[in-house]
Chain A
């Protein structure tokens, strides 16, 4: 246990700070389809090692050795400055680590760089209407035809499908194999003939997801990642990365700061919200949780740097992190009172309705990426060694 900052590390912190000060007017957030200015910001971040930090240079990353302290300094300083971090889309968070782990050299060289730079946007084709928590029962079929697979079926909960250039998709290539062994992980352009994207409007009022329909979509067999029939195992590597992404403690900490600011500035009957002892107590409860997840994150990074399993500390991140985000939004709404249910537009709306939007959207994140109940099964079975639910005879 040693988190002290050596003079070298303090120097690094100064470097990050002066970078952030110098480029303050260039801050621009991520978007499903990033604008040119955002692509420039991303390139700048990679160039300085503030994004794609540990991805090898040969594949378009910065190529630094993993360093838990420097990562922490970067995260802290970006949060403090309110500066947007590098892109955190599904291509970068999920596909890139997967390609690094199991991709062919050709796949790595071709896809990782453009994905990191935001030039190629990906969507994820996993869930299906009939395959949610039981993902391995997916039915989208890929039938061999010469050098190609011909894909038919449909996917659901596909974020950014309308903006994406490419999809990483799970398809059934071996219909006669046991369900976990018949799946392949395959990459193809969203412009391939036979793909239809339909927006899926959610309770937020906007369509954060899509349904994607495939009718005789022809994809070369060479686009399979990690070997034919190995898709389930490749996907599990990817899901592990998604669980990390959905529980990012720095994003959660930034939200807590925003909530505390809100409570210090908003008044009811001329009294600041933070001066209400009940609301003050509730925000302190959440602050404790945010700290637990922040330090838990430090433990997980340390474990990964040392090549150790993070064990239980890693297994709980998605469940606890998503729930915490939701609770932060819930408290903001409660503290705002009637203002907390205004929406869309209007003179009294606070923060453009983002607390309300988050409260609804975050419920989707509790469900997505492995529901809270699936997370609990994983924690109980892998973390505590408890038995699986016995299979029904008919299943």
Chain B
């Protein structure tokens, strides 16, 4: 009986161990990415507002206008060959590129553009405000957006906004043009095809959605008859891999061609690999602390300033986020109109202590910070906890899942929140609005900006920031944003620390990948595989 048992054990064990894995290389004309894509809620361009969903839209749909990444994000025509602005800055006329076809073979006309804007405005999902802020709504949209002929679209806005502001907004995903015939065919109960477009595509862009399985992967097929020419890679497969460590292994073993979410330590270790190279691009995401002004200690101006002096920016950058974030202390990210590079704060324990003493808190105080249980957030929070502790500020970290900390932040029941903010579109107003406008600090506020979430009541700064969207002179507009930011750095309850750098590690045979300043500008069509 001993023999039998032993034999069974040995043979089963041997069977287990000889399972040599088959490591298949990725097919030649297919580019495979490992990426965290579990943030996708929908692929519908009128609804998608999360990084990964917007990135899919950028590759599947075309817009009237785009930005030239190689040329300082200058506005360029895409579906619109040209456009004019009326002298009163209220009417925009777009001439469409002729002979553009959707993936379905339907011709793309001005009627599709009108339908797409009408659809986005009427559905009015999360990104809808990017269009409705120009005075478009579901009742008036057909009066304000018109197609006098098949190649012309005329849009009227409600105020003489800075033209750069309106045009920048048209480069965002919500302004993508959808195939009106196909969408109408898949409409259900008057939903404007929303349910269908969540999982499918109806665009004219470089790629079309072949399959999408939430939290698993999406596959895109090249559009051979794209108006800019057929994309180089015939198929793109993006697979959800949550762990940076796993992404790196898949890349090094050749199971994927690109790894999109490597952390600092993963990057450091792939640097030595001959088969791998690294591509970087500045992203607009800002990493900051929000200090709730409902907390009496945090409401003291000296305390706000002291806490800014007590973060060891340099040590965190070098040791925790090197290569994935860089120091940045103002609310407009580099690359945006009006961005400034001023970094007034660095770690200064004596100064921090002095300010705390001035605030009557020489012995420090205790405060909590809601912290998402993900890296690098947890590590950064612990590093801050350590340096604040040296000045007597006892920071208690409250770990939680993303949605949990966010729920608390939105209800203004936090003390301190550590988080990221990314611009909604490529115009400075997006960040200026959220960081420096708070129209109504009451609980019944309609617009709940980040300034509101931290209960920061700023009537003066609100007025100044709001007036600046009507400034038609781009240089003047930029200068005013500079002033607002410098003031903001001094007094705001935001400890702005870093700007994100998006990094991709890719196999050497991958060429042409350029990381844009937002998810709207991460284009796959330039990628080729040698």
Does A associate with B in a complex? no
Q: Which residues of B contact A (CB under 8 A)?
A: none
